[in-house]
Structure 1
Amino acid sequence: RLDPRFNNILMAESVANSTYNALTFQLAKRFSKGYQFSANYTLSKAEDDAPEQNMVATQAGNLVVQDPTNRARGRGPALADQRHTFNMSFVGRPQFNFENKALNYIVNNNQLGIILTANSGERYDVVASTDINLDGFIGSDNPVGITRNQFKTPKQTNVDLRYSRFIDFTERYKLEVFGEFLNVFNINSVFQVNNRTVTTDALGNITGTIPTPQNSPVTSLDSRQFQIGFKFIF
């Protein structure tokens, strides 16, 4: 029977089931003959049946399972599910030997570093503006025809570049002058969506516009940055 001492009783349980499967390829070369590089690619899939947050909140809809009696109904891609991930780094410091001393001074003691990353978009969930399952939480239910964490942001790519010039005063004392370009091509990679709620009727049918990275972006990777620095080595 109902307990008159309480209005609503919130029961929280730390349970969930998740799986992660991945296949990784890696190719690397140690520094020799003036250069080194490393490249790796990961093909992965991550799924779970509960929200990723590890806290209890009474008004945060995305912390609530849609059907507490059967979590498997909400099983879908995890927020950490990025299908493709590629990383590459390269460092080159070639040495030349010309008869002309001035030419040797110009072409030697230069170093170039490149870091390239390319990933699939990040997952995000679209929820209804109404309480479809009548559990008292708004913003925890997927609209009709939409599954949990169904949507993805666009792919993310970034290239960083570093050039260094080494000046040798003696064998012990050296100076490095370097310049760094972060996101050298100024690629706008959106990885979060601002408003993830879509307008629905009482039954969960969509009546509004589904939020996308194009019509509701909120966060993107840093734009192009340049910095110059000096390092004294002794």
Structure 2
Amino acid sequence: NTYNIGTRPAPLFTGFGQDVRSLPGITPPGTLTFPQQKPANDSRRIESTLDEALVAPINYSWNATFERQLPKGLVVQASYIGRLGRKLLAQRDIMALNNLVDPKSGMDWYTAAGILERLRAQGTSISAVQQIPYFANLYPADLAAQVNANYFGETVLNETLNQTQAIYQIALEVFGNDWTDTQDALDTGINAHYFFNPQYGALAAFSSIGNSSYHAGTVSVRERLGEKLTLDFNYTLSHSRDDASGLQTSGLPASTFGNGFILNPIRQHDWYADSDFDVRHIINVNAVWQLPIGRGQWLLGDTNRWVNGILGSWQLAGIYRWNSGLPAPNLFDDARWATNWNVQSSVVRTKPLQSCPTRGGLDAPKLFGCDPKGAYQSFRNALPGESGDRNVFRLPGYVSLDLGLSKSFNLPWGENQKFQIRWETFNVTNTQHFGKMDISRTGTGVTLDPSTATPPSNWSNFTAIQGTPRVMQFGFRYSF
């Protein structure tokens, strides 16, 4: 759009029924077809769309509450809350590469290619790879020659190799763990569409396919009617799971797919895990306390009016919050696409591993700060068809304490005139837990075959804190 409101104004709207074909800059085509279709020219396009079968999401919710009133004005309440979501809005690749099954051997692509990926990761030589019936049944004997001619345009593969060895050579020497590029080479090499749709490489569609569950228990203790103290304590233990956590805007444009994207719709349940917003424990307390100091109080109850005017009638208010951490960003293959043409799979743990956040010193603060190299080498690249681990690590939790101290003075020249002073402090303890990570290819990406690799210096680095540093403010108020 090159129009502006000064030197190049856009055409004016003159009324309904206006002839838009006559407006400047519009050249209508001679013929129009509906719906418009992309040419089937194997361009491997990456685009997004809407599913024509969208429906309203379905929500099932239930709860139960027990409440008991105790002496001294205390009220205790315990609740259970449950919720299930079905047909939620999520994105999926409706042109996801086929998991083609060989009818003769009964084996599928994920299994056959997974065998080769494990051999590649072990460094197995090409000559040691045995023929796999899946590839022998589906591909011609001169596969290597056809791929050389039709895909590479030069002699890259050894044309004496059998079908399995030729495919293995592509992975071992050309694409590594990028199995969707290997599938592209195979489809192009034999001029077939075993895996790819001829119009698209990836076509993400918003569809009514998402699922979620939420279960929570809450305990609350309240003191509402106290003369000196008002208190509200709440604790929540909850667990939220889903197969897509993003909002409807999280996956736009198509090149920046967010957390609402289901990476492998053929195995959608693989992505069902803790929600991106899942917080297991939450505690919050808020209270207002009239300090028992001054005339008629527990401390200095018989003091004179001058001392009472200075030390009496102070009020302390506070808000405290603590919660456990959110899921950390998923670690991913840094430049390989094992399953989806457009979105990289997450890596997979090869041994038990927990995050170990550090605050930094000589090195930057890290999510895996206790042993970055050991953590880095505890992953493997995703196998063909795998989505990888989702939301298995946690960021540090959050804690904050805010306090306010205030006192009101009755002014002697009018009973309705008061003067108040306030001192408020936010984040009293100046606690600064880290919460944002470096999500670049080297920050959360994992290289090819990480089991023997050294992590980059910025791998798993934190880049920002949660909340803000301590802030104090003072205020005065005159009311009349």
Q: Which residue of 1 aligns with 2:286?
A: 89
Q: Does residue 1:58 correspond to 2:254, yes or no? A: yes
Identity over aligned residues, as a percent?
24
Matched ranges for 1:121-140 at <5 A: 121-124=325-328, 125-138=330-343, 140=344
Count, aligned residues: 229
Which of the numbers 199, 221, 224 marks the counterpart of 2:446? Answer: 199
Matched ranges for 1:101-116 at <5 A: 101-116=305-320
| C-alpha distance in structure 2 between counterparts of 1:53 and 1:7, whole Å | 27
| Greater helix share, structure number | 2
Which of the numbers 45, 60, 72 marks the counterpart of 2:239? Answer: 45
Look up the SS of the partner of 1:222 in the other structure.
Answer: coil
What TM-score, normalized to structure 1?
Answer: 0.86
Which of the numbers 202, 226, 229 marks the counterpart of 2:472? Answer: 226
Q: Which residue of 1 aligns with 2:266?
A: 69
Matched ranges for 1:21-40 at <5 A: 21-40=215-234
Q: Which amino acid aligns with 2:256?
A: A
Superposition deviation, residue 99 in structure 1: 5.0
What TM-score, normalized to structure 2?
Answer: 0.44
| C-alpha distance in structure 2 between counterparts of 1:25 and 1:51, whole Å | 27
Of residues 188-197 and 31-40 in structure 1, the stretch that sits farther from structure 2 once superposed is: 188-197
| C-alpha distance in structure 2 between counterparts of 1:142 and 1:208, whole Å | 19
| C-alpha distance in structure 2 between counterparts of 1:128 and 1:231, whole Å | 58
Which of structure 1's runs of 4+ aligned residues deviate more than 6 A? 203-206
Residues 143, 206 of structure 1: 8 Å contact kept: no
Structure 1 unmatched ranges of 5 or more: none
Structure 2 unmatched ranges of 5 or more: 1-38, 46-199, 297-301, 350-387
| C-alpha distance in structure 1 between counterparts of 2:467 and 2:288, whole Å | 24
Q: Note the alpha carbon deviations across 1:174-227, whole angstroms, 9 max, x for none.
A: 1221011110111012222222622221x7879454954xx3333322011111
| C-alpha distance in structure 2 between counterparts of 1:11 and 1:75, whole Å | 18
Q: Does residue 1:13 correspond to 2:210, yes or no? A: no
Q: Which amino acid aligns with 1:90?
A: A
Q: Does residue 1:168 correspond to 2:410, yes or no? A: yes
Q: Which amino acid aligns with 1:119?
A: N
Residues 291, 316 of structure 2: 8 Å contact kept: no
Residues 110, 165 of structure 1: 8 Å contact kept: yes
Q: Which amino acid aligns with 1:67?
A: N
Of residues 57-66 and 103-112 in structure 1, the stretch that sits farther from structure 2 once superposed is: 57-66
Q: Note the alpha carbon deviations across 1:116-171, whole angstroms, 9 max, x for none.
A: 11110111222221333342324x41112262011111121111111112111133
Q: Which amino acid aligns with 1:27?
A: V
Superposition deviation, residue 72 in structure 1: 0.5
| C-alpha distance in structure 2 between counterparts of 1:155 and 1:106, whole Å | 40
Superposition deviation, residue 93 in structure 1: 1.4
Larger CA Rg, structure 1 vs 2:
2
Superposition deviation, residue 100 in structure 1: 1.7
Q: Which has the higher contact order (CA 8 A, sep 6+)?
A: 1
| Greater strand share, structure number | 1
| C-alpha distance in structure 2 between counterparts of 1:205 and 1:144, whole Å | 12
